Structure 1
Amino acid sequence: MSYDLMIFDKEQTPNNKETFLQLYDEKTKWAEPHDYTTISVTTPVLQKWYQYMVEHFSNMNLVDEEFLGEDGELESSLTEYSIGNAMIYTAFAWSVADEAYSTVKELAKKHGVGFLM
């Protein structure tokens, strides 16, 4: 199990809650015609958010296992990023949930993107 947050481009998503939740259901079917690991498929504002985010929570799909420390420090900060056209879905370890929430919230505000728990 993981602590999941979705970050989205406010300019590309509806601001009506019901419509947004329908879009969320659609996007989490993972049917966009691209892989979900390539940052270039998403909007510039989400690319910028991601650049700052991976400084705190490394992308688990891009970390070489030989660099994982024995103490598990890096391992606990590894995060799965599923990158869509107008959203990024993140899966954090529960052990870093509080830090992940505050970091996502701070960077979302800084970059003008929205997020959903």
Structure 2
Amino acid sequence: MSYDILAFDPEATTDDGFERWWDDRSQWTEGHSYADPQVTTPALQAFYRDLIRAFPPMNGPDAPSDEQLVEDPDLEDRLTDYSIGSDLVYAAASWGQAEAVRGEFERLGRLHGVAVAFVSETPLRIQR
């Protein structure tokens, strides 16, 4: 089980409409690679680029090399699974990293002007 969180374009949905919007988006039916940050908005691209400095992707073109993993033994613990859509960046991180991931999403969300949905939390919380 993972800690799930996402950043999204604040114009994509309202707080009231979020659950229906997320239900639709999480079907992953957009016709593109979900590992390509070029498919999303400029603000979310910048958010993602900053985020992967601390929490690199476990796969895809931005994943660290085997050499980088050997050089930094703590790096493997921070690997995160990402799915990037036209108006969102979804992350599934280990529960051991939940507090740090949550903090980085909050900080970078404010910095880049994107909304953040804490989908693993009950009740669901959205930061705009």
Same fold (TM over 0.5): yes
Whole-Å separation in 2 of the counterparts to 1:115 and 1:16 = 11
Whole-Å separation in 1 of the counterparts to 2:18 and 2:35 = 23
Percent identity (aligned): 37
Closer/same/farther in 2, CA of residues 102 and 30 from structure 1, 3 Å limit: same
Q: How does 1:100-111 map to 2 (within 5 A)?
A: 100-111=101-112
- Report what 2:44 is aligned to: 46
- Report what 1:92 is aligned to: 93
- Kindly report the root-mean-square deviation, in angstroms, between the aligned alpha carbons of the 2 structures: 1.5
**More moved, 26-35 vs 58-67:** 58-67
Gaps of 5+ in 1: none
Secondary structure of 1:36's aligned partner: coil
Gaps of 5+ in 2: 119-128
- Report what 1:4 is aligned to: 4
- Does the 8 Å CA contact 1:69/1:75 hold for their aligned counterparts? no
- The total of aligned residue pairs comes to 115
Whole-Å separation in 1 of the counterparts to 2:15 and 2:56 = 32
Q: Which one has the bigger helix percentage?
A: 1
- Report what 1:14 is aligned to: 13
Q: Which amino acid aligns with 1:2?
A: S
Whole-Å separation in 2 of the counterparts to 1:71 and 1:44 = 30
Structure 1 outlier segments of 4+, above 6 Å: none
Whole-Å separation in 1 of the counterparts to 2:15 and 2:4 = 22
- Does the 8 Å CA contact 1:42/1:87 hold for their aligned counterparts? yes
- Report what 1:114 is aligned to: 115
- The TM-score, its normalising length taken from structure 1, stands at 0.91
